[in-house]
């Protein structure tokens, strides 16, 4: 039996590619969507040969929200599963002083992902089934001095996914919020990350595939992050504001 297609938004990212490989490996046709999509031609060929599935490339700019409706309409087939791996961390110091840089981080992590997933959600709701996966961040669980611009956008995205899940719960559409914690990717290259708390992109992909299959709502890729963020969320504000974390 032919499996339904999976759309990967932000397919040039390390996590996006890992997720694409995971779903291709279990037989799903893959739609790779990203800016400069032709740069994924070698990935398309590799996945097609390796897994024997059809792979298509689609130009997609998360920040060009006025193009999102047309993007979905142009897909060769409405996907059964849509995974949004779009994101931009930026540098907190730059974001504090450069409003354009801050706006780009906010739009890349909230406005763009929310826009495209809202459109897909409407199509999935009309059809009566489908799974939406949004990759958010533990950074959105509480604003911290060291990354509050990025964290605030992820907090908004997490809330958006929660509301979307609540709205679609009786409409046949499943929404997953993914909170990876640290992940060893190009975005975190050069950062001194603790090994016990740092996942590999393939680990995130495995967790996403399981969450879709088991209809999970919110997942922390490494369970220890659930405890860590529970503690951080419950530190009294008078103490927390003196901490440099």
pLDDT, tens only, 6-39? 999 999 999 999 999 999 999 999 999 999 999 9
| Res 190: pLDDT | 64
Positions of E strands within 50-116: 55-59, 81-84
Annotated active-site residue 110? The verdict is: no
Angle, vertex CA 16, rays to CA 14 and CA 17, nearest 5:
65
* 3-state DSSP assignment of residue 212: helix
Angle, vertex CA 235, rays to CA 231 and CA 239, nearest 5:
145
Read off the tokens for 88: 């931009």
Positions of E strands within 136-215: 173-179, 182-183, 198-199
CA distances, 234 to each of 141, 142, 228 (Å): 11, 10, 10
Q: How far apart are CA 18 and CA 2, in angstroms?
A: 21
Task: Say which of 51, 110, 150, 220 is annotated catalytic.
Answer: 150
pLDDT, tens only, 69-107? 999 999 999 999 999 999 999 899 999 999 999 999 999
Q: What are phi and psi of 218, to 5 degrees?
A: -130, 130
Name all domains of the chain by residue range, CATH numbers in brackets.
6-240 (3.40.50.720)
| Res 180: pLDDT | 94
pLDDT in tens, the chain (245 residues): 789 999 999 999 999 999 999 999 999 999 999 999 999 999 999 999 999 999 999 999 999 999 999 999 999 999 999 999 999 998 999 999 999 999 999 999 999 999 999 999 999 999 999 999 999 999 999 999 999 999 999 999 999 999 999 999 999 999 999 999 888 777 666 666 777 888 899 999 999 999 999 999 999 999 999 999 999 999 999 999 998 88
Q: How many CB atoms lie within 10 A of CB 192?
A: 5
pTM exceeds cut of 0.85: yes
Read off the tokens for 38: 């032709």
């Amino acid at each position: 039996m032919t499996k339904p297609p999976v759309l990967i938004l932000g397919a040039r990212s390390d996590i996006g590619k890992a997720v694409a490989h995971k779903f291709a490996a279990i037989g799903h046709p893959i739609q790779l969507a990203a800016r400069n999509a032709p740069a994924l031609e070698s990935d398309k060929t590799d996945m097609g040969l390796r897994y024997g599935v059809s792979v298509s490339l689609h130009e997609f700019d998360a920040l060009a929200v006025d193009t999102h409706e047309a993007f979905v309409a142009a897909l060769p087939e409405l996907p059964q599963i849509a995974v949004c791996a779009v994101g931009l961390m930026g540098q907190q110091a730059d974001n504090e002083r450069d409003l354009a840089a801050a706006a780009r981080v906010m739009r890349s992590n909230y406005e763009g992902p929310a826009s495209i997933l809202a459109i897909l959600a409407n199509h999935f709701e009309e059809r009566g089934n489908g799974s939406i996966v949004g990759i958010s961040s533990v950074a959105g669980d509480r604003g911290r001095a060291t990354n509050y611009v990025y964290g605030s956008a992820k907090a908004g995205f997490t809330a958006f996914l929660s509301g979307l899940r609540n709205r679609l719960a009786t409409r046949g559409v499943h929404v997953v919020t993914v909170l990876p914690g640290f992940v060893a990717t190009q975005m975190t290259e050069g950062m001194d990350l603790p090994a016990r708390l740092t996942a590999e992109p393939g680990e995130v992909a495995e967790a996403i595939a399981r969450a879709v299959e088991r209809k999970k709502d919110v997942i922390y890729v490494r369970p220890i992050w659930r405890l860590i963020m529970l503690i951080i969320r419950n530190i009294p504000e008078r103490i927390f504001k003196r901490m440099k974390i």
